[in-house]
Amino acid sequence: MTVSFIFNVKPKPKQSTLFGKGHCRTDPKIEAFERTIKILAKIQFKQQGFKKPMSGAICIEKLKYTYTRPKNHYNSKGLLKPKAPKYKITRPDLDNLTKPILDALNKTVFNDDNQIFLIENISKVFGTENKIELTLTEISEMTGEPI
């Protein structure tokens, strides 16, 4: 079974846990971001005919983070400069971007993110709008074929 998502939100990284007053906690802004992704995922998951989380091995075929281009990528006429970069090679790091997405999909799209055995294609690029695109497939552990 394959499912695809498009989340029209600005990608946000999940940094290391915050420490203070003897306690560990996640940034409240990241918690809100994860809740938003979870809600959007639930809606899109059901729209694609899924009723319960995937329980088998999961392959992420595509995980693409798109950031809106900054103004300096365009010339005075509003056209993209020839030397404007395609890839976002500055912060945040890909691994930190991936953490909140996978955490948000726990118990919604799959039972636990430990089911993910492969991420085939992950990228961080510039585009016309902020968004996250995700395609994943549940794979049979016996045959290695999509379920």
Q: What is the pLDDT of residue 27?
A: 85
47 pLDDT more than 70: yes
121 within domain boundaries: yes
60 within domain boundaries: yes
145 within domain boundaries: no
Q: Where are the beta strands (DSSP E) in 1-56?
A: 2-7, 18-20, 23-25
**CATH at 82:** 3.30.1330.70
Domain span including residue 18: 2-139
User: Across all residues in the chain, what is the average pLDDT?
Assistant: 94
114 within domain boundaries: yes
How much helix, strand and coil, in percent to the nearest 5, is found in the chain? Answer: 25, 35, 40
Q: What is the pLDDT of residue 19?
A: 65
147 within domain boundaries: no
49 within domain boundaries: yes
117 pLDDT more than 90: yes
Helix 94-105 vs helix 28-47: angle between axes, to the nearest 10 degrees?
60
Model confidence, pTM = 0.91
Q: What is the pLDDT of residue 15?
A: 79
Task: Say if residue 100 is preceded by a cis peptide, omega within 30 of 0.
Answer: no
Total number of domains in the chain: 1
pLDDT-wise least confident of 74-78, 92-96, 124-128, 142-146? 142-146
16 pLDDT more than 70: no
Q: Span 91-111, mean pLDDT?
A: 97
Q: Span 27-38, mean pLDDT?
A: 95
Q: How confident is the model at residue 99 (pLDDT cuts 50, 70, 90)?
A: very high
144 within domain boundaries: no
59 within domain boundaries: yes
